[in-house]
Structure 1
Amino acid sequence: MDQQTNDLIKNELDSNEVCLFMKGTPDAPQCGFSMAVSNILKILEVNFKGVNVLENQNLREGIKAYSDWPTIPQLYVKN
Structure 2
Amino acid sequence: MDEKTIALEKIKKTVTENPVVLYMKGTPQFPQCGFSGRAAQVLKGCGVEKFVAVNVLEDQGAYEYLKFYADFPTFPQCYIGGELVGGSDIMLDLYQQGELQKLIAAAGR
User: TM-score by structure 2 length?
Assistant: 0.67
Higher RCO structure (Cα 8 Å, ≥6 apart): 1
Matched-pair identity in %: 44
The answer to whether residue 55 in structure 2 is matched with residue 62 in structure 1 is: no
State the superposition RMSD in angstroms: 1.4
Q: Which residue of 1 aligns with 2:33?
A: 31
Q: Which amino acid aligns with 1:63?
A: L
Unaligned runs of 5+ in 1: none
Unaligned runs of 5+ in 2: 82-106
CA drift of 1:44 comes to: 1.8
Aligned counterparts, 1:1-79, within 5 A: 2-46=4-48, 47-78=50-81
User: TM-score by structure 1 length?
Assistant: 0.89
CA drift of 1:20 comes to: 0.5
